[in-house]
Chains A and B, each alone.
Chain A
Amino acid sequence: MSATPAAAVSAPGATPVIAVADLTTRFGTQTVHEHLDLDVPRGVILGVVGGSGTGKSVLLRTIIGLRRPDVGRIQLLGEDVYAASTAQRIAVERRIGVLFQDGALFSSMTVTENICVPLREHTALSARDARRLATLKIALAGLPQDARDKYPSELSGGMRKRAALARALALDPEILFLDEPTSGLDPITAAGFDRLLRTLRDALGLTVYMNTHDLDSIHAVCDRVAVLADRRVLVAADLATVERYDHPWVQDYFRGPRGRTAGAVYADAVQEA
């Protein structure tokens, strides 16, 4: 983690922490991405939007090193993910946190044990200290304390997401990848999630890469929005620029009834502030 996150946040555009260059992804004869480019500067909360089937999840999986691209290069924290040696790749993976869509908690372990896994594997902490830190992460993620000794199957969907977030944050990562973090959450919980993300970004200088459908989230937390359509990143800029972008899907998305409502609410909120 950078010792001066404030400086990094205020000067984005230096070296991108995520750099995708000329990416092409194919499944059989179907091409999902073609010549896709995307740069994410440090300290930014990026929302990636796109219709169902435009390959948002595939792009995320490719960036974090789970699916080798057919063509193209992925750089994560300055390291070429697919050309790096195993040791280099593990070093990079230590510095990122991933929240999968359904949480992907290990079902045979309690919440605390789930969070202890990265803590015990990657640091020299004792079991007792790891448990204490895990307790802190649970509280940070906004999970009630009586959930810490429960198994994932005993938790509600929203609590599972929070537990998974606590695990993703266990090592204080520099980049946090989120796949649909607020889907399936009630609006109050989702808003709490957004607030938590922003606090963590401000406090830790996190970079957040977030696949989302949630217009409220986009308005509330995203500094930048990237639109995935026509097999590439159509536009990646601040929300105001993206909303004005001349493309039928973008216009439908942000100017549709849901988009207008969310936009109006946050415009009011900004004025009041």
Chain B
Amino acid sequence: MDQTGAPGRVELSAAPDGTAMVRVSGAWTLPHFAAIERSMQPVKTALPAQARLDLDGLSALDTAGAGLLSVLLGPERLRAMLDALPDLAPERRALLETVGCAVHDIFAHPPPQPYALGFIGLLARIGSAVEAIWLQTRLLFGFVGLTLETLARNLLRPQRWRMAALVTQIEQTTLDALPIVSLLSFMVGAVIAFLGATVLKDYGASVFTVDLVSFAFLREFGVLLAAILLAGRTASAFTAQLGAMQAHEEIDAIRTLGLDPIEVLVLPRVLALMLGLPMLTFAAMLAGMLGGALVCVLAIGIPPAMFLSLFHADTPLRYFWVGMSKAPVLAFLIAIIGCLEGFKVTGSAESVGERTTSSVVQAIFVVILVDALAALFFMEMGW
């Protein structure tokens, strides 16, 4: 902006007839905001009740300058002073009156007091955080119930099954995740074999590396790695998809068209994961054992045929089922958390980010929690 001229200033002086004059001069514009405010300080304290306004020296005025002048004089007094200035240019008068009204509104509504800090504030925050966790847990259980109910209603009516959506979801969540799950499991398998080889060598028991790898991957790591990857990869995708739909009122549209969003959006995703995660778990088990076998062959010198026969002799089949039985449960929880967080999006871009983060954190937390509980259970049962 090309405001030319000196920065705006204001001073008090006495008119020839003795009344006080508020003399306003220079450019009262945004770039001079601080300078104008400095020159206002002495005037503010000395301002008499009766005064006249002199705007002749004013070279430029914008809303920022008009706002400062209104604050200095007070909106009511400014209005009275303007009425006493018949020669004022109409656009200046319009600006000062408009801004004066606005300042009047601000004075009429002082800002609310911020929250109390200190000990009481701390307690209040702890309380609201605990309440939020409780509400979230209740909401999650409610949503699980709702989904199961919808599933039960639709299970016996094959004409309501959404096969196209289901197959698409399986492709996106399972087939597309196959390379990364396999690669990751392969590498973790190799690392575990190395660890086992290093520790067991001192006891001359390197051969048990085979058992270590096969037990670990069949019982725990196959399903855990696949589930954690799915929690990061798919729970976030579900949240973002449903969140964007929620933000654009698409979910409301689904409802008003007489459709059930749970049936249309949630069931295909839940079922896709429940079918997909066991398949990914199987792939992860194979890839992990392959990684372990490779290390056994190259680093310990156990030939592949020996690896297979040791595996065959030492590892009971039920270990496979122990691992596999967890897959559908974890898949159900991951999908439910992803969808529920998506429904909780409230329109802002920030909320999508917040909910996506929350969904991944919750999903990974629940996966590890459930896996730990299951490990305890299976151990106590002696399976």
Contact = CB atoms under 8 A, between A and B. Distances in A.
A190 interface: no
Contacts of B112: 146, 149
B91 A152 contact: no
Interface string A58-78: 000000000000000000000
Contact of A140 (B4, B90, B98): B98
Interface in A1-45: 1, 3, 5-6, 9
Interface stretch (A82-90, A122-130, A244-252): A122-130
A203 B91 contact: yes
Contact of B103 (A6, A139, A171, A199): A139
The size class of the interface chain A forms with chain B is 35 or more
A107 B347 contact: yes
Among B30, B94, B112, the most chain A Cβ lie within 10 Å of the Cβ of: B30
For chain B, which range describes its interface: under 10, 10 to 19, 20 to 34, or 35 or more residues?
Answer: 35 or more
A174 B105 CA distance: 26
27 contacts: A1-B1, A1-B2, A1-B60, A6-B89, A9-B91, A94-B1, A107-B350, A123-B31, A129-B34, A133-B64, A136-B64, A136-B99, A136-B103, A139-B101, A139-B103, A139-B106, A145-B108, A145-B111, A146-B109, A148-B111, A153-B347, A153-B348, A171-B1, A172-B30, A203-B91, A203-B94, A205-B91
A253 interface: no
B62 interface: yes
Given A125-B34, A172-B62, 8 more contacts: A3-B3, A3-B60, A126-B34, A136-B99, A136-B103, A139-B105, A140-B99, A203-B94
A6 B351 CA distance: 46
Interface of B: 1-5, 27, 29-31, 33-34, 37, 59-60, 62-64, 67, 89-92, 94-95, 98-99, 101-103, 105-106, 108-109, 111-112, 346-351
Interface centre among A1, A146, A169, by most B CB within 10 Å? A1
B34 A202 contact: no
Given A125-B34, A136-B106, A204-B62, A6 B91 contact: yes
B350 A108 contact: yes
A145 B108 CA distance: 9
A141 B111 CA distance: 18
Contacts of B101: 139
Contacts of A144: 109
B348 A108 contact: yes
A108 B351 CA distance: 8
Nearest to B105: A139
Given A153-B346, A204-B95, A1 B67 contact: no
Contacts of A153: 346-348, 351
Given A140-B63, A204-B63, A1 B3 contact: yes
A26 B309 CA distance: 69
A8 B30 CA distance: 21
Given A199-B98, A202-B94, A203-B98, A125 B63 contact: no
